[in-house]
Structure 1
Amino acid sequence: MKVISKVFAIAVLGGAIVLSGCGASNTVKGGGIGAGAGAALGAGIGAIAGGGKGAAIGAGIGTVLGGTAGAIIGNKMDKQAAELEKIEGAQVEKVNDGQAIKVTFESGILFATNSSTLNTESRASLDKFAESLLNNPDTDVKIYGHTDSTGNDQINNPLSQRRAESVYNYLVSKGVSGSRMIAQGFGSTQPVADNSTVEGRTQNRRVEVYILPNEKMIQDAQQQAGQ
Protein backbone atom coordinates (compact mmCIF):
# COMPACT_ATOMS: atom_id res chain seq x y z
CA MET A 1 0.00 0.00 0.00
CA LYS A 2 1.28 3.46 -0.83
CA VAL A 3 1.64 5.88 2.05
CA ILE A 4 1.14 9.61 1.52
CA SER A 5 2.20 12.46 3.69
CA LYS A 6 -0.32 14.59 5.53
CA VAL A 7 0.54 17.62 3.42
CA PHE A 8 0.00 15.73 0.17
CA ALA A 9 -3.30 14.29 1.40
CA ILE A 10 -4.57 17.75 2.33
CA ALA A 11 -3.52 19.11 -1.04
CA VAL A 12 -5.32 16.33 -2.91
CA LEU A 13 -8.45 16.91 -0.87
CA GLY A 14 -8.15 20.61 -1.63
CA GLY A 15 -8.09 19.83 -5.32
CA ALA A 16 -11.18 17.70 -4.83
CA ILE A 17 -13.41 20.30 -3.20
CA VAL A 18 -16.75 20.37 -4.98
CA LEU A 19 -16.84 23.27 -7.42
CA SER A 20 -20.12 22.49 -9.13
CA GLY A 21 -22.15 19.39 -8.39
CA CYS A 22 -24.81 19.91 -11.05
CA GLY A 23 -25.54 21.76 -14.27
CA ALA A 24 -23.16 21.44 -17.19
CA SER A 25 -21.55 18.12 -17.93
CA ASN A 26 -17.90 17.46 -17.17
CA THR A 27 -17.16 17.73 -20.86
CA VAL A 28 -18.48 21.28 -21.07
CA LYS A 29 -16.94 22.39 -17.77
CA GLY A 30 -13.59 20.82 -18.64
CA GLY A 31 -13.41 22.72 -21.91
CA GLY A 32 -14.34 25.99 -20.30
CA ILE A 33 -11.22 26.30 -18.16
CA GLY A 34 -7.95 27.20 -19.82
CA ALA A 35 -4.48 26.28 -18.60
CA GLY A 36 -3.84 29.67 -16.99
CA ALA A 37 -7.24 29.82 -15.30
CA GLY A 38 -6.83 26.21 -14.23
CA ALA A 39 -3.57 27.00 -12.48
CA ALA A 40 -5.08 29.93 -10.59
CA LEU A 41 -8.18 27.99 -9.64
CA GLY A 42 -6.18 24.97 -8.50
CA ALA A 43 -3.93 27.17 -6.39
CA GLY A 44 -6.91 28.80 -4.72
CA ILE A 45 -8.51 25.50 -3.85
CA GLY A 46 -5.27 24.07 -2.50
CA ALA A 47 -4.74 27.14 -0.35
CA ILE A 48 -8.24 26.92 1.15
CA ALA A 49 -7.77 23.31 2.27
CA GLY A 50 -4.13 23.44 3.19
CA GLY A 51 -3.81 26.89 4.72
CA GLY A 52 -1.63 27.83 1.76
CA LYS A 53 0.50 24.67 1.91
CA GLY A 54 -1.49 22.83 -0.75
CA ALA A 55 -1.40 25.61 -3.34
CA ALA A 56 1.50 24.25 -5.42
CA ILE A 57 -0.02 20.81 -5.93
CA GLY A 58 -3.45 22.32 -6.52
CA ALA A 59 -2.00 24.53 -9.22
CA GLY A 60 -0.41 21.54 -10.91
CA ILE A 61 -3.72 19.72 -11.06
CA GLY A 62 -5.42 22.78 -12.53
CA THR A 63 -2.77 23.31 -15.19
CA VAL A 64 -2.60 19.82 -16.65
CA LEU A 65 -6.37 19.49 -16.92
CA GLY A 66 -7.05 22.75 -18.77
CA GLY A 67 -8.47 23.41 -22.24
CA THR A 68 -9.37 20.70 -24.75
CA ALA A 69 -7.50 18.02 -22.82
CA GLY A 70 -9.66 18.84 -19.82
CA ALA A 71 -12.80 18.43 -21.92
CA ILE A 72 -11.63 15.01 -23.10
CA ILE A 73 -10.95 13.91 -19.53
CA GLY A 74 -14.25 15.39 -18.37
CA ASN A 75 -16.10 13.31 -20.95
CA LYS A 76 -14.46 10.13 -19.65
CA MET A 77 -15.28 11.05 -16.07
CA ASP A 78 -18.90 11.76 -17.06
CA LYS A 79 -19.24 8.23 -18.36
CA GLN A 80 -17.74 6.63 -15.27
CA ALA A 81 -19.83 8.79 -12.94
CA ALA A 82 -22.94 7.54 -14.74
CA GLU A 83 -21.83 3.96 -14.03
CA LEU A 84 -21.17 4.68 -10.37
CA GLU A 85 -24.51 6.41 -9.84
CA LYS A 86 -26.19 3.05 -10.38
CA ILE A 87 -24.54 1.60 -7.25
CA GLU A 88 -26.93 1.47 -4.33
CA GLY A 89 -25.66 3.27 -1.24
CA ALA A 90 -23.05 5.34 -3.07
CA GLN A 91 -23.27 9.13 -3.30
CA VAL A 92 -21.51 10.32 -6.45
CA GLU A 93 -20.28 13.89 -6.98
CA LYS A 94 -18.31 15.52 -9.76
CA VAL A 95 -15.34 17.40 -8.32
CA ASN A 96 -12.23 19.32 -9.37
CA ASP A 97 -14.32 21.18 -11.94
CA GLY A 98 -15.84 17.94 -13.17
CA GLN A 99 -12.55 16.23 -13.98
CA ALA A 100 -12.58 13.89 -11.02
CA ILE A 101 -15.19 11.91 -9.10
CA LYS A 102 -15.93 11.71 -5.40
CA VAL A 103 -17.86 8.71 -4.08
CA THR A 104 -19.02 8.76 -0.47
CA PHE A 105 -19.97 5.62 1.45
CA GLU A 106 -21.62 6.11 4.84
CA SER A 107 -20.21 3.91 7.58
CA GLY A 108 -23.71 2.57 8.25
CA ILE A 109 -23.51 1.00 4.80
CA LEU A 110 -19.93 -0.16 5.11
CA PHE A 111 -19.39 -0.99 8.77
CA ALA A 112 -21.03 -1.76 12.07
CA THR A 113 -20.48 0.79 14.86
CA ASN A 114 -16.85 0.88 16.03
CA SER A 115 -15.96 -1.79 13.48
CA SER A 116 -13.77 -1.88 10.39
CA THR A 117 -15.23 -5.17 9.10
CA LEU A 118 -17.19 -4.77 5.88
CA ASN A 119 -20.78 -5.96 6.08
CA THR A 120 -22.59 -8.03 3.46
CA GLU A 121 -24.47 -5.13 1.91
CA SER A 122 -21.33 -3.08 1.46
CA ARG A 123 -19.49 -5.96 -0.17
CA ALA A 124 -22.18 -6.09 -2.85
CA SER A 125 -21.80 -2.35 -3.47
CA LEU A 126 -18.02 -2.56 -3.57
CA ASP A 127 -18.21 -5.44 -6.05
CA LYS A 128 -19.92 -3.07 -8.49
CA PHE A 129 -17.50 -0.30 -7.59
CA ALA A 130 -14.52 -2.57 -8.31
CA GLU A 131 -16.05 -3.53 -11.65
CA SER A 132 -16.24 0.13 -12.63
CA LEU A 133 -12.62 0.70 -11.62
CA LEU A 134 -11.52 -2.30 -13.67
CA ASN A 135 -13.48 -1.00 -16.65
CA ASN A 136 -11.74 2.37 -16.30
CA PRO A 137 -8.09 1.55 -15.57
CA ASP A 138 -6.52 4.94 -16.32
CA THR A 139 -7.33 6.50 -12.97
CA ASP A 140 -5.82 6.82 -9.50
CA VAL A 141 -7.98 6.03 -6.49
CA LYS A 142 -7.65 7.71 -3.09
CA ILE A 143 -9.59 6.20 -0.19
CA TYR A 144 -10.13 8.30 2.93
CA GLY A 145 -11.71 7.12 6.17
CA HIS A 146 -13.47 9.45 8.60
CA THR A 147 -15.18 9.16 11.99
CA ASP A 148 -17.45 11.34 14.09
CA SER A 149 -16.11 13.09 17.20
CA THR A 150 -17.31 10.44 19.64
CA GLY A 151 -14.31 9.07 21.49
CA ASN A 152 -10.78 10.44 21.31
CA ASP A 153 -8.05 10.53 18.70
CA GLN A 154 -6.45 7.37 20.03
CA ILE A 155 -9.63 5.54 19.02
CA ASN A 156 -10.80 7.53 16.01
CA ASN A 157 -7.54 7.87 14.10
CA PRO A 158 -6.71 4.15 13.86
CA LEU A 159 -10.39 3.28 13.30
CA SER A 160 -10.62 5.62 10.31
CA GLN A 161 -7.37 4.18 8.94
CA ARG A 162 -8.61 0.60 9.33
CA ARG A 163 -11.86 1.46 7.58
CA ALA A 164 -10.01 2.99 4.64
CA GLU A 165 -7.72 -0.04 4.50
CA SER A 166 -10.70 -2.42 4.59
CA VAL A 167 -12.06 -0.82 1.43
CA TYR A 168 -8.57 -0.80 -0.13
CA ASN A 169 -8.00 -4.48 0.64
CA TYR A 170 -11.42 -5.53 -0.59
CA LEU A 171 -10.93 -3.74 -3.90
CA VAL A 172 -7.52 -5.41 -4.26
CA SER A 173 -9.18 -8.79 -3.65
CA LYS A 174 -11.49 -8.02 -6.57
CA GLY A 175 -8.59 -7.40 -8.93
CA VAL A 176 -8.05 -3.65 -8.64
CA SER A 177 -4.31 -2.93 -8.64
CA GLY A 178 -3.01 -1.71 -5.31
CA SER A 179 -0.45 0.43 -7.14
CA ARG A 180 -3.17 2.82 -8.31
CA MET A 181 -4.71 3.25 -4.84
CA ILE A 182 -3.85 4.79 -1.49
CA ALA A 183 -5.74 4.58 1.81
CA GLN A 184 -5.60 7.08 4.67
CA GLY A 185 -7.61 7.79 7.80
CA PHE A 186 -8.37 11.29 9.06
CA GLY A 187 -10.16 10.43 12.28
CA SER A 188 -12.68 13.13 13.21
CA THR A 189 -10.68 16.07 11.83
CA GLN A 190 -12.79 16.66 8.69
CA PRO A 191 -16.48 16.68 9.66
CA VAL A 192 -19.07 17.45 7.00
CA ALA A 193 -21.93 17.90 9.48
CA ASP A 194 -22.66 18.90 13.10
CA ASN A 195 -21.22 16.36 15.53
CA SER A 196 -23.64 17.50 18.23
CA THR A 197 -26.56 15.74 16.51
CA VAL A 198 -27.17 12.06 15.78
CA GLU A 199 -27.80 12.82 12.12
CA GLY A 200 -24.61 14.86 11.86
CA ARG A 201 -22.48 12.15 13.45
CA THR A 202 -23.93 9.62 11.01
CA GLN A 203 -22.86 11.79 8.08
CA ASN A 204 -19.39 12.24 9.53
CA ARG A 205 -18.82 8.48 9.82
CA ARG A 206 -17.96 7.83 6.21
CA VAL A 207 -15.45 6.62 3.65
CA GLU A 208 -14.74 8.91 0.71
CA VAL A 209 -13.16 7.67 -2.51
CA TYR A 210 -11.69 10.10 -5.03
CA ILE A 211 -11.16 8.93 -8.61
CA LEU A 212 -8.63 11.07 -10.46
CA PRO A 213 -7.14 10.90 -13.97
CA ASN A 214 -3.75 9.22 -13.87
CA GLU A 215 -0.68 10.23 -15.83
CA LYS A 216 -1.58 8.02 -18.78
CA MET A 217 -5.08 9.51 -19.13
CA ILE A 218 -3.65 13.01 -18.97
CA GLN A 219 -0.97 12.27 -21.57
CA ASP A 220 -3.46 10.56 -23.89
CA ALA A 221 -5.84 13.52 -23.59
CA GLN A 222 -3.06 16.00 -24.32
CA GLN A 223 -1.95 14.03 -27.37
CA GLN A 224 -5.52 13.80 -28.62
CA ALA A 225 -5.91 17.53 -28.12
CA GLY A 226 -2.70 18.18 -30.04
CA GLN A 227 -0.93 19.77 -27.07
Structure 2
Amino acid sequence: MKTNKTILSLLLISAMSIATIGCKTSSSLKGGAIGGAAGGILGGLLSKNNTATGVIVGAAIGGSAGAIIGREMDKQAEELERDLEQAEVERVGEGIKVTFDSGLLFGFDQSKLSASSKSNLDSLAKTLNKYPETNIVIDGHTDDTGSEKYNLNLSMERATSVQNYLIDKGVNASRIATRGLGESVPKSDNSTESGRSENRRVEIGILANEKMQEEAKKAEGED
Protein backbone atom coordinates (compact mmCIF):
# COMPACT_ATOMS: atom_id res chain seq x y z
CA MET A 1 0.00 0.00 0.00
CA LYS A 2 1.08 3.59 -0.61
CA THR A 3 0.93 4.43 3.11
CA ASN A 4 3.19 1.53 3.98
CA LYS A 5 5.68 2.59 1.32
CA THR A 6 5.75 6.12 2.74
CA ILE A 7 6.38 4.82 6.26
CA LEU A 8 9.14 2.55 4.94
CA SER A 9 10.77 5.48 3.14
CA LEU A 10 10.74 7.56 6.32
CA LEU A 11 12.29 4.70 8.26
CA LEU A 12 15.06 4.32 5.67
CA ILE A 13 15.81 8.04 5.79
CA SER A 14 15.99 7.90 9.58
CA ALA A 15 18.35 4.95 9.34
CA MET A 16 20.83 7.01 7.32
CA SER A 17 22.11 9.00 10.30
CA ILE A 18 25.88 8.93 10.27
CA ALA A 19 27.63 6.46 12.54
CA THR A 20 30.43 7.68 14.81
CA ILE A 21 33.85 6.06 14.85
CA GLY A 22 33.85 2.91 16.91
CA CYS A 23 30.08 2.45 16.76
CA LYS A 24 28.52 -0.49 14.99
CA THR A 25 25.59 1.55 13.73
CA SER A 26 25.38 1.80 9.94
CA SER A 27 23.06 3.40 7.43
CA SER A 28 21.60 2.17 4.18
CA LEU A 29 22.88 3.35 0.81
CA LYS A 30 21.78 1.78 -2.44
CA GLY A 31 22.10 -1.70 -1.03
CA GLY A 32 25.08 -0.78 1.10
CA ALA A 33 26.01 0.51 4.53
CA ILE A 34 27.96 3.60 5.62
CA GLY A 35 30.12 4.02 8.69
CA GLY A 36 32.86 6.29 9.90
CA ALA A 37 33.20 10.04 9.47
CA ALA A 38 30.79 10.61 6.62
CA GLY A 39 29.53 14.07 7.53
CA GLY A 40 29.30 17.29 5.52
CA ILE A 41 30.16 17.36 1.83
CA LEU A 42 31.70 13.89 1.94
CA GLY A 43 28.52 12.43 3.40
CA GLY A 44 26.51 13.94 0.56
CA LEU A 45 28.89 12.50 -2.02
CA LEU A 46 28.62 9.05 -0.47
CA SER A 47 24.84 9.13 -0.58
CA LYS A 48 24.84 9.99 -4.29
CA ASN A 49 27.61 7.70 -5.57
CA ASN A 50 27.92 3.96 -5.10
CA THR A 51 31.54 3.65 -6.21
CA ALA A 52 34.79 5.19 -5.00
CA THR A 53 35.31 6.50 -8.53
CA GLY A 54 31.93 8.24 -8.41
CA VAL A 55 32.77 9.93 -5.13
CA ILE A 56 36.10 11.18 -6.49
CA VAL A 57 34.53 12.51 -9.69
CA GLY A 58 31.66 14.07 -7.75
CA ALA A 59 34.09 15.99 -5.54
CA ALA A 60 36.03 17.53 -8.45
CA ILE A 61 36.12 21.33 -8.65
CA GLY A 62 37.69 21.59 -12.11
CA GLY A 63 39.53 24.51 -13.69
CA SER A 64 43.00 25.60 -12.68
CA ALA A 65 42.28 24.76 -9.05
CA GLY A 66 41.43 21.21 -10.07
CA ALA A 67 44.68 21.01 -12.02
CA ILE A 68 46.61 22.11 -8.91
CA ILE A 69 44.95 19.34 -6.91
CA GLY A 70 45.68 16.89 -9.72
CA ARG A 71 49.40 17.64 -9.56
CA GLU A 72 49.40 16.98 -5.82
CA MET A 73 47.60 13.71 -6.40
CA ASP A 74 50.17 12.74 -9.04
CA LYS A 75 52.86 12.84 -6.35
CA GLN A 76 50.84 10.67 -3.99
CA ALA A 77 49.94 8.19 -6.72
CA GLU A 78 53.60 7.80 -7.70
CA GLU A 79 54.54 6.98 -4.12
CA LEU A 80 51.68 4.53 -3.74
CA GLU A 81 52.54 2.77 -7.02
CA ARG A 82 56.10 2.40 -5.81
CA ASP A 83 55.27 1.17 -2.31
CA LEU A 84 52.11 -0.94 -2.72
CA GLU A 85 53.20 -4.21 -4.25
CA GLN A 86 49.82 -5.92 -4.03
CA ALA A 87 47.42 -3.19 -5.09
CA GLU A 88 46.21 -1.47 -8.23
CA VAL A 89 46.72 2.31 -8.09
CA GLU A 90 44.75 4.53 -10.49
CA ARG A 91 44.62 8.28 -10.91
CA VAL A 92 40.96 9.23 -11.27
CA GLY A 93 40.05 12.85 -11.96
CA GLU A 94 41.28 14.88 -9.01
CA GLY A 95 41.86 11.85 -6.83
CA ILE A 96 43.30 8.35 -6.52
CA LYS A 97 41.68 4.93 -6.34
CA VAL A 98 43.54 2.03 -4.75
CA THR A 99 42.12 -1.47 -5.22
CA PHE A 100 43.10 -4.48 -3.13
CA ASP A 101 42.04 -8.01 -3.96
CA SER A 102 40.21 -9.18 -0.83
CA GLY A 103 42.11 -12.45 -1.01
CA LEU A 104 45.33 -10.53 -0.34
CA LEU A 105 43.89 -8.87 2.74
CA PHE A 106 41.72 -11.56 4.30
CA GLY A 107 41.40 -15.30 4.60
CA PHE A 108 38.46 -17.02 2.93
CA ASP A 109 35.17 -15.78 4.40
CA GLN A 110 37.07 -13.77 7.02
CA SER A 111 37.21 -10.09 7.96
CA LYS A 112 40.39 -10.23 10.05
CA LEU A 113 43.41 -8.82 8.24
CA SER A 114 46.07 -11.38 7.34
CA ALA A 115 49.63 -10.83 8.55
CA SER A 116 50.93 -10.60 4.97
CA SER A 117 48.54 -7.75 4.13
CA LYS A 118 49.76 -5.42 6.81
CA SER A 119 52.96 -4.32 5.06
CA ASN A 120 50.89 -2.90 2.21
CA LEU A 121 48.57 -1.11 4.62
CA ASP A 122 51.59 0.19 6.55
CA SER A 123 52.86 1.79 3.32
CA LEU A 124 49.40 3.16 2.56
CA ALA A 125 49.12 4.69 6.03
CA LYS A 126 52.56 6.26 5.70
CA THR A 127 51.57 8.05 2.49
CA LEU A 128 48.17 9.09 3.85
CA ASN A 129 49.87 10.61 6.89
CA LYS A 130 52.36 12.42 4.67
CA TYR A 131 49.47 14.08 2.79
CA PRO A 132 46.91 14.89 5.50
CA GLU A 133 44.64 17.19 3.48
CA THR A 134 42.65 14.39 1.89
CA ASN A 135 39.49 12.47 2.67
CA ILE A 136 39.46 8.69 2.39
CA VAL A 137 36.60 6.40 1.37
CA ILE A 138 36.98 2.66 2.00
CA ASP A 139 34.53 0.42 0.11
CA GLY A 140 34.19 -3.30 0.74
CA HIS A 141 32.83 -5.49 -2.09
CA THR A 142 32.00 -9.19 -2.46
CA ASP A 143 30.93 -11.56 -5.21
CA ASP A 144 27.34 -12.86 -5.27
CA THR A 145 28.06 -16.19 -3.59
CA GLY A 146 25.87 -16.51 -0.50
CA SER A 147 22.97 -14.34 0.59
CA GLU A 148 22.82 -10.62 -0.14
CA LYS A 149 22.52 -9.80 3.58
CA TYR A 150 25.55 -11.93 4.49
CA ASN A 151 27.66 -10.37 1.74
CA LEU A 152 26.65 -6.88 2.82
CA ASN A 153 27.72 -7.54 6.40
CA LEU A 154 31.00 -9.18 5.35
CA SER A 155 31.89 -6.29 3.04
CA MET A 156 31.25 -3.75 5.80
CA GLU A 157 33.30 -5.75 8.31
CA ARG A 158 36.22 -5.88 5.86
CA ALA A 159 36.07 -2.16 5.12
CA THR A 160 35.98 -1.47 8.85
CA SER A 161 39.01 -3.73 9.47
CA VAL A 162 41.03 -1.70 6.96
CA GLN A 163 39.80 1.54 8.51
CA ASN A 164 40.72 0.48 12.03
CA TYR A 165 44.19 -0.62 10.95
CA LEU A 166 44.87 2.72 9.26
CA ILE A 167 43.67 4.56 12.36
CA ASP A 168 46.00 2.45 14.50
CA LYS A 169 48.82 3.58 12.19
CA GLY A 170 48.06 7.24 12.86
CA VAL A 171 45.60 8.17 10.10
CA ASN A 172 43.10 10.65 11.54
CA ALA A 173 39.75 8.92 11.96
CA SER A 174 37.86 12.07 10.93
CA ARG A 175 39.25 11.70 7.40
CA ILE A 176 37.82 8.23 6.82
CA ALA A 177 34.39 6.97 5.76
CA THR A 178 33.68 3.28 5.27
CA ARG A 179 31.04 1.56 3.18
CA GLY A 180 29.97 -2.02 2.75
CA LEU A 181 28.48 -2.52 -0.70
CA GLY A 182 28.26 -6.31 -0.70
CA GLU A 183 27.55 -7.73 -4.13
CA SER A 184 25.72 -4.64 -5.42
CA VAL A 185 28.57 -3.16 -7.51
CA PRO A 186 30.26 -6.01 -9.40
CA LYS A 187 33.42 -5.23 -11.33
CA SER A 188 33.19 -8.36 -13.48
CA ASP A 189 30.82 -11.17 -14.39
CA ASN A 190 29.91 -13.30 -11.37
CA SER A 191 29.26 -16.33 -13.56
CA THR A 192 32.98 -17.21 -13.72
CA GLU A 193 35.50 -17.81 -10.95
CA SER A 194 37.87 -15.19 -12.38
CA GLY A 195 35.03 -12.67 -12.40
CA ARG A 196 34.01 -13.50 -8.85
CA SER A 197 37.63 -13.13 -7.76
CA GLU A 198 37.78 -9.60 -9.23
CA ASN A 199 34.53 -8.71 -7.46
CA ARG A 200 35.96 -9.65 -4.05
CA ARG A 201 37.86 -6.44 -3.41
CA VAL A 202 38.41 -3.39 -1.22
CA GLU A 203 38.54 -0.03 -3.01
CA ILE A 204 40.01 3.05 -1.37
CA GLY A 205 39.21 6.49 -2.76
CA ILE A 206 41.54 9.38 -1.90
CA LEU A 207 40.23 12.88 -2.63
CA ALA A 208 40.93 16.47 -1.65
CA ASN A 209 39.28 17.69 1.53
CA GLU A 210 37.71 21.13 1.82
CA LYS A 211 40.92 22.76 3.08
CA MET A 212 42.92 21.45 0.13
CA GLN A 213 40.24 22.64 -2.29
CA GLU A 214 40.16 26.11 -0.73
CA GLU A 215 43.95 26.39 -0.91
CA ALA A 216 43.87 25.36 -4.57
CA LYS A 217 41.20 27.97 -5.34
CA LYS A 218 43.25 30.63 -3.56
CA ALA A 219 46.35 29.67 -5.55
CA GLU A 220 44.24 29.78 -8.73
CA GLY A 221 43.19 33.34 -7.93
CA GLU A 222 46.79 34.42 -7.41
CA ASP A 223 47.92 33.18 -10.83
Same fold (TM > 0.5): yes
Identical residues among aligned pairs (%): 47
Q: Which has the higher contact order (CA 8 A, sep 6+)?
A: 2
SS in 1 for 2:166: helix
1:11 matched to which residue of 2?
Answer: 48
Give the AA of the match of 1:67: G
Contact 2:141 2:200 in 1 (8 A): yes
**Equivalenced residues, count:** 184
The 1:191/1:73 distance shift into structure 2, 3 A limit, reads same
2:122 matched to which residue of 1?
Answer: 127
- 1:83 to partner: Cα distance: 0.7
For 2:111 and 2:71, locate their aligned partners in 1 and report how far apart those are by CA, in whole Å: 35
1:208 matched to which residue of 2?
Answer: 203
- Asked whether 1:76 is paired with 2:72, we answer yes
For 1:153 and 1:143, locate their aligned partners in 2 and report how far apart those are by CA, in whole Å: 20
For 1:14 and 1:169, locate their aligned partners in 2 and report how far apart those are by CA, in whole Å: 21
For 1:11 and 1:127, locate their aligned partners in 2 and report how far apart those are by CA, in whole Å: 30
Structure 1 consecutive aligned stretches of length 4 or more whose deviation exceeds 6 Å: none
Give the AA of the match of 2:71: N
Normalising by structure 2, report the TM-score: 0.77
Please give the per-residue CA displacement for 1:162-216, whole angstroms capped at 9, x wherever unaligned: 0000000000000001100011101101000111111111100000000010001
Contact 1:4 1:182 in 2 (8 A): no
Contact 1:18 1:94 in 2 (8 A): no
Give the AA of the match of 2:79: E
Contact 2:139 2:202 in 1 (8 A): yes
- 1:67 to partner: Cα distance: 1.2
The unaligned stretches of length 5 or more in structure 1 are: 20-41, 43-57
Matches within 5 A, 1:75-224: 75-86=71-82, 87-95=84-92, 97=93, 99-224=94-219
The unaligned stretches of length 5 or more in structure 2 are: 1-19, 31-43
Contact 2:52 2:97 in 1 (8 A): no
Give the AA of the match of 1:11: K
- 1:120 to partner: Cα distance: 1.3
For 1:150 and 1:5, locate their aligned partners in 2 and report how far apart those are by CA, in whole Å: 21
The 1:15/1:178 distance shift into structure 2, 3 A limit, reads closer
Normalising by structure 1, report the TM-score: 0.76
- 1:17 to partner: Cα distance: 4.4
Give the AA of the match of 2:170: G
